[in-house]
Each structure stands twice: as structure tokens, then as C-alpha cells.
Structure 1
Amino acid sequence: MSNEQKKIFGISWNVFLLGLVSFLNDMSSEMIAPIVPTYLTDVLGIGKAISGSIMGLIESLSSLFKVLFGYISDVFRKRKVFVALGYLLSTISKGALAFTRSWWDFLTLRVLDRVGKGIRTAPRDALIAESSEKGKSGRSFGFHRMMDTLGAVAGPLVAIGLLALLKNYPIRVAYQYVFLLSAIPGIVGILLVVFLVKDKGEEVKKKIKGISALKSRNLRMFLGIVALGALGRYSYAFTLWKAKELGYSVVQGLGFYAIFNAIYAFSAYPIGYYSDKVSKKSIITLGFGVAALASLLFAYSKNLPMLLAAFIFYGVYIAIEDTIPRAYMADLAKDFEKGTVIGAYHTIFGIFVFPASIIVGYLWQEYSLKIGFLYAAIINTLAMILMVSFVRD
């Protein structure tokens, strides 16, 4: 049996490799992600509202490129070149953060990282869909999300170890070392894409004539609700700022973040697997409800049990909303437009994620973090109601 026909954990070899690449890349990203909020406020000296805006802009920008490069990869039936290029840009930008001296340097490099993500995401998701058996897209996307998030579990733990080793260094110097070392797993991931991952685009029959799934009223309604839900999805940085507000140290915050990512990782695959058996719409709707619950717990957390519960439910919510909508869109898309349709989802989501963090940052600065989390709870509750009322299976 060739590698292309081989299956591991019930998924194709190509999906397995892409999961491993995402593990390495997310390990790289999450080595630095938990220290970024403190780096912004304590090292670069940036205020709360601007920090929230920067985090939102960073997370939003990548999505602006996703539909474009998804479309381009559909036209040329080539996915791998965009996946490799995207990972390369992100890896370079993360290592170069060691040399930042101002918020402008920082923002420029983080934008480059997000551009890299924007280039690779839709082509990669299309490649996952093309490498999956019919009716098993949820399983494939769930496995990919699990591996991606296991990297996010490993990353903070590596960062904790590095910061412990560098505890006698000034905080800026310690962070510089973490930024530089974060590039190593990213480089290994790029090599796997270049030498082992196989393109599938040319194997899929391109149907030039066909009605795009994007013309479906049901799909348009779903994308509208995605936009609304994104307005209630604040940056992970706010959860770490909440932990800091309750008196926990940066290292303890990294521990909370690792717990969140462990829940996220180990929920993603079973949720994806189960979504192939039942309605994906129902799982997505449940995700909005869990998001509202997590936001309420963050808003009212005053002790360790409540804060832990908030991080756990936040992890389940992100596992659902970062896995099932992609599988749902992949199932609805025709063969000739998978990159475009999945890219449209990512783009719409990303455009509306940016205002979410600005709004929560503003509410934090003018009122309190509690008000920001309550705002998010209201938005997600509304999205859940609209999913039940207007989106068909």
C-alpha cells in the first residue's frame, strides 16, 4: 500500500502529515502567544485599548487573504505551494520578533505572520477536504484541529521551561530567546510540506459548469450568523488578562492557557468524528451556547474553580467553532470551488473578529473586563438563537 493510500487513525496519510505540520507550526506559535500580551503591556509599554486593538487586528488580518488564495488555488489546482509559502512567512516573522523595539516593529512582523496564515489556510483546508473520504470530513478536520491544538499545548509548556531557565535574565532578553527558538519547529514543518505532502487538486475533476454553493440562501444565512458570532469572539489575550487581574502570575497564566489548549485539543477529534454521524448545524449551534457560558464564567470568576471552568468551556467552544464550520463548508462546496468557499468562510469570520477585540478592549478600558465578557455572552446567545431559527441542516 502506498503512502497516499495508507490510513492512520482512520484518516489518509496526507491528512495525517498536514496534522503533524500544524502541530509543529502551532507549537512554534504558542511558544510566543502567551507572552505576547505581557510583552505588549510590560515591555513595549502599550495601553490596554491599543493592545486589544492590535491583538484583534493581528487575528483578523489573515482572513482577508484566505478567500483570495483559496480562489487562486482552485484556479491552478495547486495547494501545496501556497501552504509551504504561508508557513515560511509565519516562521520568519516569529523568529524576527526578537529584534522588535516598538509597537510598530511588533505589529509589522505579526501582520506578516498573519499574511502567511492567510495564504496557507484555505488551500490547506481544501487539500484536507480533497484528501478525505466522502462523509468523513468532520473526522479529518477534527484530527487536524486536534494536532494543531496539541501543538498549542506543547508550546506554552516549552515556554514555561524556557522562562524558568532564563529567570535570571531581564524580561526583554528572556522573551527574545523564546522568540528566536520558536522558529525551529516551524522550519521542520516547512520541510515536511515540501518533501512529503502530496497535492490532490489535479486529481479532482474540475467541473467548470455548476452553481456555486455561495449562491445558496441557507449558506448565506449561515455566513451572516458566522459574522455575528465573530463579533463575540474576543482574543485569547483577554482570558490571560483576566487571570492576571485575579492575581495570577505570567507563568501561572501560561498554565491556564495550557489547560485550555489541552481541552481544545482532546475535544476536537471526537467532536469532528461525532459531527459526521449527526447534524453539523446542531454542533455549531451548541458551540455558540458553550461560548456564552464560558464568557459568563469569565465575567463572574473570582476564584480558582470558576476560572478553571471558564477556561475548560472556552476550550470546548473553540474546538467546535474552529473545526465544524470548516467541515460544514467543505461538505457544501462543489469540487471546483472548495478553496474559494472555505476561504469565504474564513474571510467573513476574520473581518468581524477584529471589531470584537476592539469592542471588548474598549469596554475593559472604560468599564471593566466583566462588561466585555458579558457583551460576548449576549452576542453568542443571539447567534445560537439565529442558528436554530434560520439555518437548515
Structure 2
Amino acid sequence: MKPAASEKRIMGFAPNVFFLGIVSFLTDISSEIIFTLVPLFLANVLGATTTVIGFVGGLSDSTEAIFKILSGYLSDKINRCKSLALFGYGFSALSKPFMLLANSWGIVTGVRFADRVGKGVRSSPRDALIANSVEVYERGRSFGLHKAMDSLGATLGLGIAAVVIYFTQSGSLTLKPETYTTLLWWGIIPAFLAVLVLAVFVKEKRRPQNTAQADMKPHFNFRTLLSGMDSRFKLFLLVMFLFTLGNSSDYFVILRAQDMGVSVLAISLMLVVFNLTYTLISLPAGLLSDRIGRRRVIAMGWLFYALVYLGFAVTQSQIGIWILFGCYGLYYGIVEGVAKAFVADMIPPDKRGTAYGLYQGVVGLTLLPASLIAGILWDTIGSAAPFYFGAALALLAVIGLLVFIKEPPKKKPAGAA
């Protein structure tokens, strides 16, 4: 399923890549305004414990993971990636206004559950749409652009949040209920605009199917999900599990900043720095992976992550927290898009939806135990403990990646620019 030779490019990118980037840009504006400060809302407004906050964050991500697996498998079987992505974005958009009713951590969990169901349904089909819209030699840059647009939306969303916080509570150390209500109203509109862009501008390039394939009814079976998958991909899933077990919900990074006495306004600005660096590095990292290989770039990103987590464990200054937030964004920019391109390199087009579901499913499902472990370590040992744990597992994951997984060959078609 190759992009048409006559297809008009937008800024040098396939139209689907560009418009799916716009969709993620708008969605992240919404999500960052509404959900990024949820751990502070839970802790400061609802009085939830750190273990409960870890549970809410981990459960949300694990819910998302289950639906990523199911939707990825289904998108391969019914050959309709756009329809599933549209349903997922729409479901998330409809769930967000219900945060206005949240007066207990149980309701917050329910809304986050619904939002994550939507994200789970859309993510694997969307990534398959991107992978199937471009050639192998431009996957890194295409996923890099998508992640850059995604994080640019997050940056703008957090910038809006910072302005709202400044005018409603300025330098207060805790989040006020009226501030969060204002943020919710600002965050709803971009979510619905994203659904409109997807519906109108993204065009699916469906795979040709033989008669036998067309007559097959989708029948989900966990035992057959990995059948026919490259052994490197299976090993990559194991290494991702190891890495993610120490990579708990980012809620803990936000709580660590507040634990150091950082105000809510300053935390929102730190998150702007985080997403800005994420935006700036995503496309260059994708381009670099097209040149030197995905595995090396991912290994560099994980090593950087280990150093950043060690920094969060040992820092005693607010200046150090500012620097670490920026460096944390560099890790995300280096790894996120490149890892998805790496998956596409190992998997044929007719299995990519399933592969992305499995990849993102392993990451998401592992985040629940990872976040519970982090919450327990925080409550029983101290706020630095989850970060030492995460750094150690990241180093082990780097060794596993470099020792056990080889780079898939990438052949550039003759005459390709």
C-alpha cells in the first residue's frame, strides 16, 4: 500500500501524515489543558493519596492499552483504519465535558477511563494510517513530524493553561477548584475540531484484499496475535516491558516538582518547556533514525532517560527541576516517533495495526503495575525512590535492546530521493 506517485505533498509530507498531525495537534491542546493537572486536582482539591493517584494514572493507561490491542487487530481484519480512528477521537471528545462533574477520585477515574478508551481505539489504526501512507525510507521523518505536531499542541495547551492559572490564582502552591473548572471550559472545543479535521481531510488508502480475506469475519484470539510476527518484534516487546516497568505515569514527575515547593503556575510553565523540547527534537530524531538506524537512536534516548530520572531523584533545587523537565522532553522527542517507525520496519503492512496494538498494549498495560510500584515506593521509602527504580530498569533495557535485537534491513527503492 504505497503512496501514489502523483499525490500532492504538503510541506514535503504525505497529506495523511500532515492532517493526522493537525488532528493530534488539536487533540493535545485539549488533553493537556484538561488532564495534565489531574494529579494536582486529585491531591490538592480531592485529597487523594499518592498511591491512589498512581492507581488512577496507571489504570487509565492500561485501559488504553487493552483497546489499542483490540482496535489494531480489528483494523487489520476489516481494513478500515480511518473509521476506527474517527470513532476513537469522537468518543474521547464526548467524554471530556464530564470532568465538570468530578467531585471524587472515582468520577475522575471514570472520565479518564472513557477518554483512554477513545485513545486506545484510535491510536493503532492512526499509526497504521501513517505507516501505510509513506515509504520505508521516510517513516522516521513522518512519525517524527506527527510526534512534533502532537507535542506542539501540548505546548500550546499548556501555555493556555499557564495563562489561565496566572489570572486565576497566580503563584499559589496548590491548585484551586475554580482554576481547574476554567481550564476545563477552555479545553473542550479543540477536541471537537480535531474530529472534524479527521473526518474531512484524511483519506484512507485501503489494502487490496483477495476473496478469501474479504470473506473472513474478524475473530479476536489472543493466542494468534503474535503469529507470523518477526522474532525481533517479539523481543522488542519484552524489552519494552522491562523499560516501561520503571517508567511510571508522568503524574509522579509533576508531584515531584510540587514536593520540591514549585508553584502550580511554575509547574505548568515547566511542562511548556518539556513539550517545547519534545517538539523541537522529534523530527530531527526521526531523520537521524532514517540515516543511522532506529535501534541506536532508541538506545540513546533510553540512556538519556536514565540520567534524567537519576536527576529527579537527587536534585535539591528548583533550577534543577526546570532543567530536568526540559531534558525529559528531549527523551520523549528522541524515542516516541522512532520506536513506532521501528515497529513498522519489522512488520508487513497487513499486520501493522495488530503490531501497533501489541506494542502500545504492552506499554500501557505495564504502566498500571509500574505506577502502583512507584506510588508504593513514594509512600513507603520517599519521593526519590521511584526515580532510582526507573533509572535502573532503563539501563537494563538498553543492554537488552543492543544485545538481543538486530536492526531490520531497510531497502530504499531505486530512484527514491
Q: TM-score, normalised by structure 2?
A: 0.89
Q: State how far apart, in whole Å, the 2-side matches of 1:204 and 1:348 are.
A: 29
Q: 2:181 matched to which residue of 1? A: 176
Which of 247, 263, 271 lines up with 1:257 in the alignment?
Answer: 271
CA contact (8 A) 1:292 1:377 kept: yes
Amino acid in the other structure paired with 1:82: L
Instruction: Assess, with a 3 A threshold, how the Cα gap between structure 1 residues 152 and 81 changes in structure 2: closer, same or farther.
Output: same
Q: 2:412 matched to which residue of 1? A: none
Q: State how far apart, in whole Å, the 1-side matches of 2:393 and 2:228 are.
A: 25
Which of 206, 217, 221 lines up with 1:201 in the alignment?
Answer: 206
After superposition, give the CA deviation of every residue in 1:288-330 in whole Å (9 maximum; x if it has no partner): 1111001001001112442233212211212233211111111
Question: Are 1:367 and 2:369 an aligned pair?
Answer: no
Q: State how far apart, in whole Å, the 2-side matches of 1:12 and 1:192 are.
A: 16
Instruction: Assess, with a 3 A threshold, how the Cα gap between structure 1 residues 214 and 161 changes in structure 2: closer, same or farther.
Output: farther
Q: State how far apart, in whole Å, the 1-side matches of 2:16 and 2:313 are.
A: 42
Amino acid in the other structure paired with 1:179: L
What residue ranges of structure 2 are gaps of 5+ in the alignment?
214-224, 408-417
Q: Mean alpha-carbon deviation: is it higher for 79-88 or for 138-147?
A: 79-88
Question: Are 1:266 and 2:280 an aligned pair?
Answer: yes
What residue ranges of structure 1 are gaps of 5+ in the alignment?
none
Q: State how far apart, in whole Å, the 2-side matches of 1:109 and 1:221 are.
A: 34
Q: 1:54 matched to which residue of 2? A: 56
Q: 1:300 matched to which residue of 2? A: 314
Q: TM-score, normalised by structure 1?
A: 0.94
CA contact (8 A) 1:226 1:348 kept: yes
- The alpha-carbon deviation at position 63 of structure 1 amounts to 1.0
CA contact (8 A) 1:213 1:332 kept: no
Q: 1:63 matched to which residue of 2? A: 65
Which of 311, 318, 321 lines up with 2:335 in the alignment?
Answer: 321
After superposition, give the CA deviation of every residue in 1:51-82 in whole Å (9 maximum; x if it has no partner): 11111211222011112111111111111111
CA contact (8 A) 1:66 1:343 kept: yes
CA contact (8 A) 2:229 2:347 kept: no
Question: Are 1:233 and 2:247 an aligned pair?
Answer: yes
Amino acid in the other structure paired with 1:61: T
CA contact (8 A) 1:225 1:383 kept: yes
Question: Are 1:82 and 2:96 an aligned pair?
Answer: no
Q: State how far apart, in whole Å, the 2-side matches of 1:142 and 1:4 are.
A: 23
Q: State how far apart, in whole Å, the 2-side matches of 1:50 and 1:388 are.
A: 36
Q: Mean alpha-carbon deviation: is it higher for 373-382 or for 211-220?
A: 211-220
- The alpha-carbon deviation at position 237 of structure 1 amounts to 1.5
Task: Figure out how many residues of one structure are paired with residues of the other and give that number.
Answer: 389
Question: Are 1:310 and 2:312 an aligned pair?
Answer: no
CA contact (8 A) 1:32 1:182 kept: yes
Counterparts of 1:82-161 in structure 2, within 5 Å, are 82-161=84-163
- The alpha-carbon deviation at position 214 of structure 1 amounts to 5.1
Q: Mean alpha-carbon deviation: is it higher for 146-155 or for 174-183?
A: 174-183
Question: Are 1:378 and 2:380 an aligned pair?
Answer: no
RMSD (Å) for aligned C-alpha atoms: 2.1
